[in-house]
Structure 1
Amino acid sequence: MKTSKLLTTISFAIVMLFTVNVNAQKFSGLDKSPMDAAAYPSSYKDANKTVKVVYSRPQLNGRSLDKLAPNGKVWRTGANEAAEITFYKDTNFGGKMVPAGTYTMATIPGEKEWTIIINSDVNTWGSYFYDESKDVARVTAPVSMGDESLEAFSIAFDDNGAMHIGWDKVRVSVPTSSK
């Protein structure tokens, strides 16, 4: 009897060991371009947001900005999936009224100005399937140069609601205001 009970216990342990290994969840490593979010107002204490951008943050890693975000070409504004922008209220975005809703945000980098595109086509990968006919708004913003180079692509909002895009030494700002 003792041998039978011992064999049953060992058999059960072996089955459980294989079951755990078979069902173990596989988690991927850290993304090279981690996802981030920027919102206005920026304070986490203020839940009454006007706008939020969810995007991935590619790194320069010794590469040039003009190779990663070429001038004159539609760019996904980050990495991986297209950047997603949510306006929680009807918002004046760079002089154009954008109805409350969720959109993708693409850009067309340029030497002197960038075009920022708000597009109704959501859940898209990169800008590979960009459809200009679904543009909700296009605004242009002048380029300025910062003193320091940003290794990671970044988006931030200031206390007045302006959206700032920065990468390397390039800086682009778009004013926003809600009704």
Structure 2
Amino acid sequence: MKRYISLLALVVALTFAPETNAQKFSGLDKSPCDIAYYRTDRKAAPVAKVVYGRPQKKDRPVFGTLVPFDKVWRTGANEATEITFFKDVMFGDKEVEAGTYTLFTIPGVKEWVVILNSDTDVWGAFDYKEANDVARTTVPVEKDSQSLEAFSITFEPGDNGADMYMGWDTTRVKVPISER
């Protein structure tokens, strides 16, 4: 009988106890994470995958103010953007082996330097080390009449592969990627 009363008391205590083990979830991220894939067709294995944070414009000027010109940028928000190549590729005019790299950029008014770096799983560009760059390519800046609210990365079919487009506000840059 003592066991029954003890068990009943435990059940009642747990039923009416405050939720001490409840998981607390944060709200939606202000710069949500997104993924862009480059596949030769829908059923093909991916050639590249980019994981990045998507900061929002929110009526602010972007390049030259929010993202300074001529300084290394994490190419998105929060953790530094990472790109995985599942095959050896030409990244711009540079040969790059399959693997995962951090994608940094140095935005400029007329051109961007796009950087693949061997340091991965880093937050922002605070600990960026140029000595760990694997490849750099310089691409021209294009302007679009349509403004993008969120920083975006996408792939479009291109010459001998795909073009990786990065855009935010009215700024667009294109990096050609082809299989080796």
**Given the two structures, how large is their TM-score scaled by the length of structure 1?**
0.90
Higher strand share: 2
Match of residue 163 from structure 1: 164
Match of residue 14 from structure 1: 13
Alpha-carbon separation, structure 2, partners of 1:17 and 1:83: 46
Q: Which amino acid aligns with 1:168?
A: D
SS in 1 for 2:152: strand
Q: Root-mean-square deviation (CA), in Å? A: 1.9
SS in 2 for 1:14: helix
Query: Equivalent pairs: percent with the same residue?
Result: 52
Residue 84 in 1 paired to residue 85 in 2? no
Aligned residues: 174
1:148-159 counterparts in 2 under 5 A? 148-159=146-157
Match of residue 145 from structure 1: 143
Structure 2 residue runs of 5 or longer lacking an equivalent are: none
Match of residue 123 from structure 1: 121
Q: Is the contact made by 1:42 and 1:157 (CA closer than 8 Å) also made in structure 2?
A: no
Q: What displacement does 1:16 show?
A: 3.6
Q: Is the contact made by 2:40 and 2:47 (CA closer than 8 Å) also made in structure 1?
A: no
Q: What displacement does 1:18 show?
A: 2.5
Higher helix share: 1
Structure 1 residue runs of 5 or longer lacking an equivalent are: none
**Given the two structures, how large is their TM-score scaled by the length of structure 2?**
0.90
Alpha-carbon separation, structure 1, partners of 2:54 and 2:40: 18
1:1-179 counterparts in 2 under 5 A? 9=8, 12-18=11-17, 21-41=19-39, 45-65=42-62, 66-160=64-158, 161-179=162-180
Alpha-carbon separation, structure 2, partners of 1:17 and 1:176: 60
Q: Is the contact made by 1:82 and 1:125 (CA closer than 8 Å) also made in structure 2?
A: yes
Alpha-carbon separation, structure 2, partners of 1:126 and 1:17: 45
Alpha-carbon separation, structure 1, partners of 2:98 and 2:16: 52
SS in 1 for 2:75: coil
Q: 1:46/1:123 Cα in 2 relative to 1: closer, same or farther (>3 Å)?
A: same
Q: What displacement does 1:71 show?
A: 0.6
Q: 1:17/1:117 Cα in 2 relative to 1: closer, same or farther (>3 Å)?
A: farther
